[in-house]
Amino acid sequence: MAFTHRAHMTQRLAIGIDLGGTHCRAGAVDAEGAIVAQRLCEVGRNRSVDAIVQLVVSLVDELQAELATGDRRPATAVGIGVPGIVEWSEGLVHKAPHFPEWDRVPLAALLRDRLGVPVAIDNDANVVALGELWQGAARELTHCCVLTFGTGIGGALVIDRQVFRGDAGFAGEVGHFTIQFDGPPCACGSAGCWELYASATGMRQLIASSNDPAKAAFLQLFDGNLDRVQPAQILALARDGNIFASTLWKKFGAYCGAGIASLVNITGLHHVVIGGGLSGAWEYFIGETERAIARRTYRATADRIRLHRATLGQSAGIIGAARLMRCLSA
């Protein structure tokens, strides 16, 4: 027992932070990828750079205090996943839709100054991919594409077990490939982006444009307010046998599959890891996804595609962000 205690004390820890549009999750992660302490807090209305830096600093301080209480050494590095366009090598956030004021924010440097430890930042989807590669569904995959379906779509390309970043670190902006040339405008400035269809936003859009007679009864369950419809509730209704809800998941599955087929045709990556909140409805959409992929790829390709369900859930961001510093052993 004394020996275990000593191992505790000497093991190197990193803090991983998953900064989202509504919540921020933080955890201290050990060299085996286990979360030994964690915190969750809401992201408030003040989304200025200062406010978010302060939020992160508080979470790190709380975690370090908890580690000290548990007789552990303090974490020696911090990694953060940010939902936006991140220039990884420079530690720069170019643009982050949830933080509209941000413009070329040197987030890594700002946090390094406040925290006094090395800080690395990356796009949130890349961080999820690092987590799934290290401890999750991609542990044994050499190449793969990691996708997260939530409010929007996140994506990362993994080649030879490394996240491929392209020329400037922006690879994997898969949510914004054009899947409907004459489709509606997207907040990104483009139109007909994949994430307007295969996402929570897309599911609400599918309801809005539906002329199924069952739509009225479905919407009544939400007091007629489309904005209140969340994927978790559509899933609960589908489980209860609501046909309109099941049909929505099938439509989501078809868009999901058309996009995955496109990604596979372009990248030649045959293993696709699917995570994010919407992946919880797996059995309600995956059949349509597979059918769409079979239709939209050559048979030689379709036969090789393997869809993997992400296994780390909401911990993926914390574990992957901690992994970012590469200060922990593999």
Residues that bind its own copies (CB under 8 A): 85, 87, 94-95, 143, 155, 157, 159, 164-174, 176-183, 188-191, 197, 255, 258-259, 261-263, 265-271, 295-301, 304
**By C-beta, is 176 or 308 nearer to its own copies?**
176
Asked if 159 contacts 153 with a C-beta cutoff of 8 angstroms, the reply is no
Residues 292, 298, 299: CA angle, nearest 5 degrees: 90
Minimum separation from the CB atom of position 132 to its own copies (A): 17
Candidates 125, 165, 161, 163; CA nearest to 143 is 161
DSSP track, 106-173 = -HHHHHHHHH-S-EEEEEHHHHHHHHHHHHSTTTT-SSEEEEEESSSEEEEEEETTEEE-TTTS-TT-
Minimum separation from the CB atom of position 84 to its own copies (A): 9
Minimum separation from the CB atom of position 75 to its own copies (A): 30
Minimum separation from the CB atom of position 165 to its own copies (A): 6
What tokens were used for 310? 């992400």
Minimum separation from the CB atom of position 296 to its own copies (A): 4
**By C-beta, is 142 or 233 nearer to its own copies?**
142
**By C-beta, is 77 or 258 nearer to its own copies?**
258
**By C-beta, is 115 or 203 nearer to its own copies?**
203
**By C-beta, is 279 or 297 nearer to its own copies?**
297
**249 in the Ramachandran plot: left (φ > 0), alpha (ψ -120 to 50) or beta?**
alpha
